Amino acid sequence: GPFRIDVVTIFPEYLAPLRQSLLGKAIERGLVSVGVHDLRQWTDDVHRTVDDAPYGGGPGMVMKPEPWGQALDAVRPPGTRLVVPTPAGRPFTHAMAVEWAAEPGLVFACGRYEGIDQRVADWAAEAGPVSEVSIGDYVLAGGESAVLVMTEAVTRLIPGVLGNRESAEFDSHADGLLEGPSYTRPVTWRGHEVPPVLLSGNHAAIERWRRAESLRRTATRRPDLLAALPEDALTDADRAV
Ligand code: SAM
């Protein structure tokens, strides 16, 4: 069946872009199916309250556990990974996207305010994997935009979602390196030239140049990625760059 994505949020309209573009086409083609759920449908008071003051004091409000428990009872099949976006999570990476894309589906819990009562993630871990992840070292107002980021990164790795022309295997991070620069016509634009090797027709030379650009760019912009490569990932030619 299709890769199943369920999102629980207090701002369901925020997830409308899930049905656009690449992911929209994947849904139309039956490769992915998406459910967006309003957390407030699992409240039982007239005010449809989802937050309360933090135990121990301090500013802001915390999302109450009861609506989340009922929501996850309703939308999360046992064993399905629950993803909880939080700036206090482990960094979301390409490797996680690859792992998650191979699973049957994902459930996302979008926090707001100061986040969700910690017992929700702790309890949810009894029924399947739970990933508390951050999309970067900054603080957003809610998890919805993080869900858009992660679902896009995951679904483009599902077989059939990308065509051959836009294959993911050469993209940045697939081999642990950043991809080098790309060029298209014209050859000269506002005084800037396309690197001549790309016009040479010499495929071996082009491959060598691309590899060198990839290594140089990674060394300049993301030395942490170079340092994390396994011992055998770089050839002698690579090291000479
Ligand atoms: N009090 C929390 C803390 O300091 O860790 C911050 C909560 S933040 C204002 C509200 C919500 O935005 C979070 O529950 C999470 O869903 C989302 N969020 C904020 N920054 C994020 C990030 N870098 N990655 C993923 N989700 C984030």
Q: What is the pLDDT of residues 101-118, one digit of tens each?
A: 999 999 999 999 999 999
Q: Are strands 188-189 and 130-134 parallel, antiparallel or unpaired?
A: unpaired
Half-sphere exposure of 141 (CA within 13 A, CB side): 3
Mean pLDDT across 206-235: 96
What pLDDT, on the 0 to 100 scale, is given for residue 169? 79
What pLDDT, on the 0 to 100 scale, is given for residue 170? 80
Give the atom of ligand 1 at the shortest distance from the alpha carbon of 137. 23
- pLDDT, the chain, mean: 96
Q: Are 35 and 52 in contact (CB under 8 A)?
A: no
Going by the DSSP 8-state scheme, the letter that residue 217 receives in this structure is H
**Closest by alpha carbon to 151, among 25, 18, 21, 19?**
18
Ligand 1 contact, 67 CB (< 6 A): no
Span from the CA of 146 to the centroid of ligand 1 (angstroms): 9
Ligand 1 contact, 139 CB (< 6 A): yes
Q: Residue 142 is encoded by which pair of tokens?
A: 């809610």
Quote the CA–CA distance of 9 and 41 in Å, as a whole number.
10
What pLDDT, on the 0 to 100 scale, is given for residue 168? 82
165 confidence band (pLDDT: 50, 70, 90): low
For residue 215, what is the enclosing H or E element? Answer: helix 203-221
ipTM above 0.90, yes or no: yes
Span from the CA of 100 to the centroid of ligand 1 (angstroms): 21
What pLDDT, on the 0 to 100 scale, is given for residue 192? 98
Span from the CA of 190 to the centroid of ligand 1 (angstroms): 43
**Closest by alpha carbon to 126, among 82, 71, 62, 74?**
82
Q: Are 215 and 223 in contact (CB under 8 A)?
A: no
Contacts of 85 (CB under 8 A, 6+ apart): 108, 109, 110, 111, 133, 134, 135, 143, 146, 147, 150
Ligand 1 contact, 237 CB (< 6 A): no
Q: Are 53 and 80 in contact (CB under 8 A)?
A: no
